[in-house]
Amino acid sequence: MNQNSIEKFKEELAEIYHLGAAVSVLHWDQDVNMPKKGMEMRAKSIANLSGILHDKFVSPSFSRLVRAAKKELDGGKLSDENACIVREIWREFSREKKLPLEFVKELSETTSVATSVWAEARKENDFGLFLPYLKKIVSLKRKEAELVGYKDSPYDALLDAYEPGMTAREIEMIFSELRDFLVPFLANIMKSKVRVRNILKGKFPIERQVEFNKAVAEKIGFDFDAGRLDISTHPFTTQFHPGDVRITTRYSDRDPFYSIGSTIHESGHALYEQGIPMENFGSPLGDAISLGIHESQSRMWENIVGRSENFWKYFFPRLKKAFPKNFDKAEMGDIYRYVNAVKPSLIRTEADEVTYNLHIIMRFEIEKELIEGSIAVEDLPKIWNSKVKEYFGIDVPNDALGVLQDVHWSGGLIGYFPTYALGNLYSAQFYEAAKRDVLNLEKEIRAGQFAHLLNWLRKNIHIHGKMFTARELIENASGEPLNAQYFMDYIEDKYSRIYGF
């Protein structure tokens, strides 16, 4: 494959990326702006474009280019950058080639409709409304696993799409270690005599919350000239390229922290996407290596930074200025304890740092059994409620607060949930490395200065795209492989002090 051939391969690949960006625009608009009656036709539009995208990716002409590039890769004749591009495209191409066009279109159309139905079912607290769509999605994802192939569990084939190289067996080992630490640690917190005072008083006008959320996002580094913040049922981030990255949040006029945490979380994702060099768009060099690494960025900003005492020493006076009557009697210590209060809850997105991973472990167990066929979709509410009782000791009053709370399954994102917990582990390890490398990092955060931390993340994570595997990236940045002990030490140190044991 000569230089002209590799350039032709990259040109056609860029066309595929541009088409994918157009599909992403339709998805974003569906979740943010689309009127209710547009659902059916939008689903068909997305399905058709997704089919065209898939068809172009596995077309005979592009297939020839990919196979020729793979020969060059195997012969060791490519630069590091081109080798990365070919390696990752070959991996994706090999997977896509196994999925028939009709399957791709059916899955796309089913999930497009199901996402809107899920939102309605959640609003109406009616799992039965969503049930037939979820049954079809689970069936299609089982079929996908069979088409793609796997060694041990069909779940591995789905997990690999989000966390390449990771297996269900590895996840079970990691989660077992986490569970063994978290359960007794949570029990100690529940025995503590420290009580967190409810500092919320009155209503918080949404328009002022929007202003405050935008100010926080911009302060930590979100570029509003390359993105925007909107409202959706479930907060999310979507990117078309580094110059157009969009985040959403949701608001409650009774609780400003309902939006603040989500905004910081999604800003973390967006900072990753905005930090990828624009010239790398159109190839794997412009993609994040895994969702676990991506999640490490959102969880670091939301929790390790956004729930820290130093962060609120800077932002609390500004929050107080935005809502003077609501926080007239609140002190800094009250805010810090409030944003870090540990209380077993029903909702994953509102969970504290101590219990959050238990939400993920529970979901992993459920969806793995769903795909392996050991539980039925019809039984999900009962199974869900039972596990919530087992893990958190609380009863689920309705399905809207239970099995219907997450958007992921409606979008066919089975295998996604474990990346949230992996992100927590990565985040603690990355942050410790950043503290070693950035002089006076926490002093800077206390002063509202986040540029050095963001620059460290850009240098060590964002700019590399898929040049390195997740395993290589964490080792390059921190000096050692993924080690859950960093996260457990962080949790133990922080919350032992807060809860006085």
Q: What is the DSSP string of 194-229?
A: --------S---HHHHHHHHHHHHHHHT--GGGEEE
State the Cα angle at 74 between 70 and 77, rounded to 5°.
95
* Cβ atoms within 10 Å of 187's Cβ, excluding its own: 10
What CA–CA distance (Å, rounded) separates 269 from 276? 12
Q: 3-class secondary structure for 393-408? A: CCCCCCHHHCCCCCCH
Query: What is the helix, strand, coil percentage profile of the chain, to 5?
Result: 70, 5, 30
The helix (H) or strand (E) run that includes residue 355 is helix 353-372
Q: In terms of Cα–Cα distance, which of 82, 467, 486, 50 is closest to 290?
A: 467
Q: How many CB atoms lie within 10 A of CB 9?
A: 23
Written as six digits, the tokens of 409 are 């399954």
Catalytic residue among 88, 109, 144, 266: 266
Within 8 A by CB and 6+ apart from 487, the residues are 178, 424, 425, 427, 428, 429
The H or E element containing residue 174 is: helix 168-191
Q: How far is CA 37 from CA 84, 116, 306, in A?
A: 43, 11, 39
266 is annotated as an active-site residue? yes
- Strands 237-241 and 244-249 turn out to be antiparallel
**How crowded is residue 200: how many other Cβ atoms within 10 Å of its Cβ?**
17
CA distance 175 to 388: 17
Please identify every residue annotated as catalytic.
266
